[in-house]
Amino acid sequence: MIIPIRCFTCGKVIAPLYDQYKKRCEDYQKALTAGEKPKETPQMILDDLGVERYCCRRMIISHVDLLKEAAPYE
């Protein structure tokens, strides 16, 4: 539903990084669909944000935002 505040494995704070990652990945996808060569890949985005551990990368990459689907059922 909502991105966890901390990584489940190591405890590093990852929630503030998710919005930046999501925005930059959307820019990456737009560049791909426009036929341009993107400046950075999703792996480079994570490196630039300072997410080095595999456990933290897993938390960000595998997150699925289901809040819009669950909100009507409140």
The answer to whether 13 touches 73, Cβ cutoff 8 Å, is no
Mean per-residue pLDDT, 13-34: 92
Q: Tell me which CATH code domain 15-73 carries.
A: 1.10.10
The 3-state secondary structure of 22-52 reads: HHHHHHHHHHHHCCCCCCCCHHHHHHHHCCC
Q: Which residue has the higher pLDDT, 66 or 22?
A: 22
First to last CA, the chain: 13
**How many residues belong to the chain?**
74
Instruction: Indicate whether 12 pLDDT > 70.
Output: yes
pLDDT of amino acid 70:
77
Q: Say how far apart CA 70 and CA 32 lie, in whole Å.
A: 30
Instruction: Indicate whether 4 pLDDT > 90.
Output: no
